[in-house]
Structure 1
Amino acid sequence: MTHTSAPAPTPEGPRRPGEPALTALGLAAPADRPTDSSPHSFPDGGTWRTEIPSVEGPEALGAVLKEASRLDVPVHRVSQGSGVWMLSDAEITEMVEASAERDIELCLFTGPRGTWDTGASARTASGGAGLRARGHDALAGCVEDALRATELGVPSLLVADEGVLWTLHRMRERGLLPADTTLKVSALVGPVNPASVAVYEHLGADSVNVPSDLTLAHFTEMRRVSGVPLDLYVEAPDDLGGYVRMYEAAELIRRAAPLYLKFGLSKAPGIYPYGAHLRDTALDTARERVRRGRLVLDLLARHRADGGMSPLGSRRPGPLDRFPLTPEDR
């Protein structure tokens, strides 16, 4: 892959979809309000990065890397949804080595989670406690996954529980996890208002996956209180709504930076927890997620909005606000 960073926008600046034709017809969009633009960026100066989700094992990762090279899609992060516990040591090591060769951040999910254990509340109409870790044993399982993954070289962990997040952050501060481990909050528990985004940041999140149905105004509101990187499915899986927001990509970056553009896939069957019985589906959907990414990048280029991408290999979130730790926590 030859992509290093996107070219800077032309002097004319980004344009909105259909803008020249609509302006000629007297249907121009209203002028932007400067205060709507996010004042934040990644520490490297970039405003957006890319992520390929649902990369469930070494073979799927290989398919993603091959397709990314073929389509020239820059990839900053790949993430997995089934969990550390669904991979062998050899599989994790293979994924660590393959992603490190391309300077891509590898993020694996900690488990177990409420939807897979003995509790039935997550299957009720109310959704119950959702993916949160139920009880001490589930918390302990998440900690065990985090320790095992980081010992094998995994640099990033995906969490779906506030208590797990706070626990792993405290472990990171005490040196029980590597200091440069990054903690990512799952889309399935993502916050939907400015106060909750700030809480996740204070609890130790280095990036927060917010739901894909937020309005542009919601992102502006969040950016008034927090600079934590946000992750957003530009195309969401069906179980997260199936939203396709490709035409909003430029405006999402402007409002929500620093932002990870996640290239999900609607109308695709679920593959969690992944196993060999789902191999063909996992590989086909992995390749298609990369192609969806190419479509988004092409659209950004057509709208002169493809500048500002972080250099490949960037993964640090920059300075963030945390809740103070007690002496016992340190």
Structure 2
Amino acid sequence: MEVIPRSASRGRAALVELGYPAGDDVPLRASGRTFSGGGHFGVEIPAINTFRQLKATIAALQDQGVYCTRFDETHGSFLLSNAEIGDMLAICRENGYGLVVGLGPRPEYDVKATFYRTPFGLEMGRQINNNDAFAHCIDEAFRLCDLGCRGITVYDVGVLKVLGELRAGGKLPRDLVLKTSSHCMATNPAIAKIFADCGADAITTAHDLGLPVLQAMRAAAPEAALDIPTDVYLSKGGFIRWFELSELVQIAAPMFLKMGASVQNHPYDSVKPEAAAERVSRVRVGLEYFVANAPEGLKPIPATDRLVCRPVLPTAA
């Protein structure tokens, strides 16, 4: 069968010379990488935004005997009191789970971000557009670390860069994990490399990326974990990719499977105990598919790994 010539030949040749993929028709290969202490994957349940939701989800996990590594708070720390964040961190610490907290404030809460609320402004994502809000984000990072949080989700790449500099300079804890949100839209390997160069320890990928792009992201940002949505809210497309979980772990390790969202219509939906149990059941089904299709040797992240984001005791006032 004759192989046809490809379009954009100069562009493809330039990408190959720089070490980037020149198309999607590439063979899939195992990454050959693990977390620092071994292990290939973790499981993250997203949008656990209150202590009540967290408590119900932990109860459902224990009742159903389902593995989970950590949880992801997504509304933003700006909406939670010290007491509620402290309770969320404590219950995770006591039960052996990690917790990543979304950094606030974000443009949707900001008095100086009126443009963000327009159809055009939404296209800028959750980037901060004024110096005061930028300073507030940095201050929130200090607050979270004082409360014992060791995982922060960042929505603005500029904020990420500054937090990385503060951590490198010892102003923030050395064991703090910085994770980019899917709202930063890591949609290709070059963007993933930028995030890693700015200090990201974990990069949440855009929701609908195919295996070739994810494989290229792994190569472009070899030191960062990839956090990959495996099933998504109905408002984000509602897809479920259980049959690809084995391939995802093999090509993207070290990585986290973001699981359980497809039960809900929207990430801001309330997660009552019944919904928490249904989300955990969805995770259990996904992991059953993963176990049925995965080759031998794929292991979860060690509980002591820094990227679990296990909370520590709060700093004394």
Count, aligned residues = 280
Q: Secondary structure at the match of 1:204?
A: coil
Q: Secondary structure at the match of 1:95?
A: helix
Give yes or no for the alignment of 1:255 onto 2:267.
no
1:316 corresponds to: 306
With over 3 angstroms needed to count, the CA separation of the structure-2 counterparts of 1:311 and 1:216, relative to structure 1, is closer
1:73-152 to 2 correspondence within 5 Å? 73-117=66-110, 118-121=113-116, 123-125=118-120, 127-152=122-147
Q: Secondary structure at the match of 1:49?
A: strand
Q: CA deviation at 1:59?
A: 1.1
Percent of pairs identical after alignment? 30
The two structures, once aligned, show a CA RMSD in angstroms of 2.2
With over 3 angstroms needed to count, the CA separation of the structure-2 counterparts of 1:91 and 1:291, relative to structure 1, is same
With over 3 angstroms needed to count, the CA separation of the structure-2 counterparts of 1:122 and 1:230, relative to structure 1, is farther
Give yes or no for the alignment of 1:182 onto 2:172.
no
With over 3 angstroms needed to count, the CA separation of the structure-2 counterparts of 1:241 and 1:123, relative to structure 1, is farther
Pairing partner for 2:276 from 276, 279, 286: 286
Give yes or no for the alignment of 1:303 onto 2:296.
no
Out of 308-317 and 244-253, give the one that drifted further.
Answer: 308-317
Moved over 6 A (4+): none
Which structure has greater helix proportion? Answer: 2
Out of 159-168 and 37-46, give the one that drifted further.
Answer: 37-46
**Residues 53 and 79, structure 1, Cα contact 8 Å, conserved in 2:** yes
Q: CA deviation at 1:89?
A: 1.0
With over 3 angstroms needed to count, the CA separation of the structure-2 counterparts of 1:115 and 1:239, relative to structure 1, is farther
Give yes or no for the alignment of 1:165 onto 2:160.
yes
With over 3 angstroms needed to count, the CA separation of the structure-2 counterparts of 1:120 and 1:238, relative to structure 1, is farther
Q: Secondary structure at the match of 2:178?
A: strand
Q: Secondary structure at the match of 2:34?
A: coil
Q: Deviations over 1:34-59 (max 9, x none)?
A: x6221221112211111011111111
Q: Distance in 1 between matches of 2:172 and 2:188?
A: 30
1:237 corresponds to: 233
Unaligned regions of 5+ residues in structure 1, if any? 1-31, 273-277, 319-330
Q: Distance in 2 between matches of 1:99 and 1:267?
A: 23
Q: CA deviation at 1:285?
A: 3.4
Q: Which amino acid letter does the alignment assign opposite residue 270 of structure 1?
A: H
Q: Deviations over 1:92-132 (max 9, x none)?
A: 11111110112211111111222343323454157331111
Q: CA deviation at 1:223?
A: 2.3
Q: CA deviation at 1:265?
A: 2.0
Q: Secondary structure at the match of 1:78?
A: strand
1:8 corresponds to: none
Q: Deviations over 1:218-247 (max 9, x none)?
A: 122222222210001110123433221111
Unaligned regions of 5+ residues in structure 2, if any? 1-25, 309-317
Out of 200-209 and 122-131, give the one that drifted further.
Answer: 122-131
Q: Deviations over 1:187-221 (max 9, x none)?
A: 11131111111110110101000012111111222
Out of 121-130 and 242-251, give the one that drifted further.
Answer: 121-130
2:23 corresponds to: none
TM-score by length of 1: 0.78
**Residues 105 and 313, structure 1, Cα contact 8 Å, conserved in 2:** no
Q: Deviations over 1:14-44 (max 9, x none)?
A: xxxxxxxxxxxxxxxxxx95x6221221112
Give yes or no for the alignment of 1:191 onto 2:186.
yes
Q: Distance in 1 between matches of 2:190 and 2:58?
A: 37
